[in-house]
């Protein structure tokens, strides 16, 4: 995972109009991290909070609610 960023930047830098393409890549990457960060936090939360089927269902329902909310917010923006 540590080498994919520089590798993609090197490939994009060799395309036509590298300044615009690298800027677009930076913006797209920032949005991807912004969208992915709750998922990363949910992985550690599930490890810490889930002990049985009931707590799993509670966390799953919370995750579905958060997913729907984030989807609506992204569609509005």
* Other Cβ atoms within 10 Å of 66 Cβ, number: 13
3-class SS letters over the chain: CCCHHHHHHHHHHCCCCHHHHHHHHHHHHHHHHHHHHHHHHHHHHHHHHCCCHHHHHHHHHHHHHHHHHHHHHHHHC
In this prediction, residue 76 carries a pLDDT of 94
pTM of the model: 0.63
Copy the structure tokens of residue 30: 């920032």
Instruction: Give residue-wise pLDDT tens across range 6-55.
Output: 999 999 999 999 999 999 999 999 988 888 888 888 888 899 999 999 99
| Structural domain for 39, as ranges | 4-76
Copy the structure tokens of residue 31: 């949005």
**Counted domains in the chain:** 1
Is pLDDT above 70 for 1? no
């Amino acid at each position: 995972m540590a080498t994919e960023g520089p590798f993609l930047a090197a490939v994009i830098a060799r395309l036509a109009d590298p300044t615009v393409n690298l800027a677009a890549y930076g913006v797209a990457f920032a949005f991807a991290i912004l969208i992915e960060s709750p998922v990363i936090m949910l992985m550690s939360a599930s490890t810490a909070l889930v002990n049985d089927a009931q707590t799993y269902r509670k966390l799953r329902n919370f995750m579905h609610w958060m997913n729907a909310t984030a989807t609506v917010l992204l569609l509005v923006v």
